[in-house]
Structure 1
Amino acid sequence: MSFDSSVPLRWVDVDAQGHVNNALIADYLQEARVDWLQSGANAHLLGDATMVVSHQVEYLGPVFFSTTPLRVSLDVGVVGAARFVLGYQVFQDERLVSRARSTLCLYDYRAARIRRMTGAEREWFAAQSVALEPFRAIDGWRVGPDASEHTFTVRWSDQDAYRHVNNVRVFDYFAEARVRLTPEPGPDRMTQAAAEQLTWMVARQDVDYLGQIVQRPEPYRVRTAVAKLGRTSATLVAEVQDPLDDRVLARAHTVLVSGDVSGRPVPLPKVMHDSAAAWPAVRAVRA
């Protein structure tokens, strides 16, 4: 049986395009996930025993500010020895606005390793397990030698109870890098879009967490490349890297759609074609 969680909206969730920013959907999923865990026998896992491995998020419609909370319906998918998958449907006024999947694992932060579930922990997850419809794959790309680069520093408020950057904040880092995806000097991509009466809509975003990002004085960097172009959509791949050792700490695959002011898809503007020529992604090498 699905678990339903009521998630209130905040006025500050609304972005410059007049609707809730895409990154906030991951925040709402997190609120529902915490609500679900706190409701049952595995509430003890909150705070020091779970880690997000990946997210897949489909954006099906805009979310607008309202004093009526969203309804997030959560289901448990595959349950393994140390990992479990969650599925979500997000509704505003019973309109389906997003679907998502998350993979989480149990993690011993003191020993810095993944740990297996106890029998009782796995039993609680498995009792709720149902078959989840798989999402269409959009991964398979990597950032090549030529990429758009954006540096950022971690804010103190980006940290969570585990003393590393919360998984939701990583969506923000990728978004800030996308805004700056312009090969020529001048206004950023969003400013150009506003001047041309265009909007950019995120249709899908998958994030894989490959290492921990921590608060420190030294900056991190995001490298972004264009994987493929359609008539009205573009697929990007981006990586958060540690410049101190070049480790990739997170990777995102994002599908963007170009739209007019009403949200109707329109052909991609020149800036995206120029970006694809300047920063082409490369196919991932399968092991």
Structure 2
Amino acid sequence: MRHTYECPMRWADLDLLGHVNNVVYVDYLQEARVDMIRTHAPASRPEGGDLAEGVVVVRHEVTYLAPLTFRFRPVRIECWVTEVRAASFTMGYEVFDEDGDGRRTTYLRATTVLTPYVFATERPRRLSADERATLSQFLDPIERRPREPLAPPPAERRAHYPLHVRFSDVDAYGHVNNVKYFEYFQEARIQLLSGLREGLPEDDGALEVVVAQTDVDYRMPILFREEPYDVWSHVARVGSRSFTVESEIRDGDTLLSRARVALVHFDPRQGRSTEPSAEYRDRLTRTS
């Protein structure tokens, strides 16, 4: 069984290209996941119990397939469970539209690994029998793509971004919400790319990029404080029309999160991928 959630869109969800921003999709997925758990919760836990709120995200894998533009009708999100383990479960998602003939346009596919968490003691816990029964209703395994481990960026080629946590980033448990990590990595990535673009003509095909894939590993919670955290980023791979940026968030020597983001050079006038100039590809290559 799969659960379908109709997610309303907001004008503020769009990026400069008029597409739903890559960070906003993760917010949509969170809304769909909570709606599924609350809608199908057992009678003994009508609000979904601890699975609706008392979980932490361990990993996100998000694949962006087609641009989604603003409209007044909601977009549909199908979600289900792909795996249930003793102390974690994995969710699968598709963000899509479907026409009257049943033809589907899929904008995004994703998976999220979650673990139940006791926030009072800051420790994960095992799933209860009721929780396993609830999740098993939606069990529909999918083939997972091979996971590539994220490596720390090389010290000599990494760019630094001071991360200031805003009070509004923090949830009721005092942790930065998992969606905000995507925003932090985006901010650091924009600063890195802005430096690489300095002096290039505005009509260079490299100036517009779209996100094709984002993988985020969550290691330790980020908490609100006045002092900034450190985000270190570097270009890890350069292709003919795409490149990959890897980043990590640290508190001194303590690793908090890592991300790998695949980006594609994009021509908004043609609505398709493009090759960057030789000069810009050379800049990317020198930093990889």
TM-score of the aligned structures, taking structure 1 as reference length: 0.89
Root mean square deviation of aligned Cα: 2.1
Which residue does 1:96 correspond to in 2? 106
For the 8 Å contact 1:76–1:129, the answer to whether it is kept is yes
Give the superposition deviation at 1:84.
0.1
| SS across alignment from 2:283 | helix
Q: Does 1:259 align with 2:266?
A: yes
Paired residue secondary structure (2:272): coil
Residue number in structure 1 paired with 2:123: 113
Q: Residues 193 and 78 (structure 1 numbering): CA distance in 2 closer, same or farther, change over 3 Å? A: farther
The alignment status of 1:202 with 2:207, answered yes or no, reads no
Secondary structure of residue in 2 paired with 1:171: helix
Written as runs of structure 1 = structure 2, the 5 A alignment for 1:65-80 is 65-80=70-85
Distance 1:60 1:186, change over 3 A: closer
Over residues 71-129 of structure 1, what are the superposed CA-to-partner deviations in whole Å (9 max), with x where a residue is unaligned?
00001011001100000000145420000000000111111111011112112212321
Between the aligned partners of 1:204 and 1:138, the Cα distance in structure 2 is 13
Q: Which letter maps to 1:206?
A: D
Identity %: 36
Instruction: Please tell me the residue identity of whatever aligns with 2:128.
Output: T
Q: Which amino acid aligns with 1:31?
A: E
Q: CA deviation at 1:16?
A: 1.3
Deviation at 1:48, TM superposition (A): 5.1
Residue 268 (structure 1) shift: 3.4
Structure 2 distance, partners of 1:32, 1:48, is: 13
Which residue identity lines up with residue 118 of structure 2 in the other structure?
D
Matches of 1:184 and 1:76 in 2, distance apart? 41
Paired with 1:194 and 1:86, the residues of 2 have a C-alpha distance of: 41
Structure 1 pair 194–205 and aligned structure 2 pair: CA distance change class (3 A): farther
Q: Which moved more, 1:245-254 or 1:72-81?
A: 245-254
8 Å CA contact 1:63, 1:92 repeated in 2: no
Among 260, 269, 277, the alignment partner of 2:286 is: 277
By how many angstroms is 1:152 displaced? 2.0
Separation in 1, partners of 2:194, 2:79: 41
The TM-score with structure 2 as length reference comes to 0.88
Q: Is the 8 A contact 2:51 2:116 kept in 1?
A: no
1:285 maps to none
Could you say which residue in structure 1 is the equivalent of 2:101? none
Counterpart residue number, 1:174? 185
The count of aligned residue pairs is 274
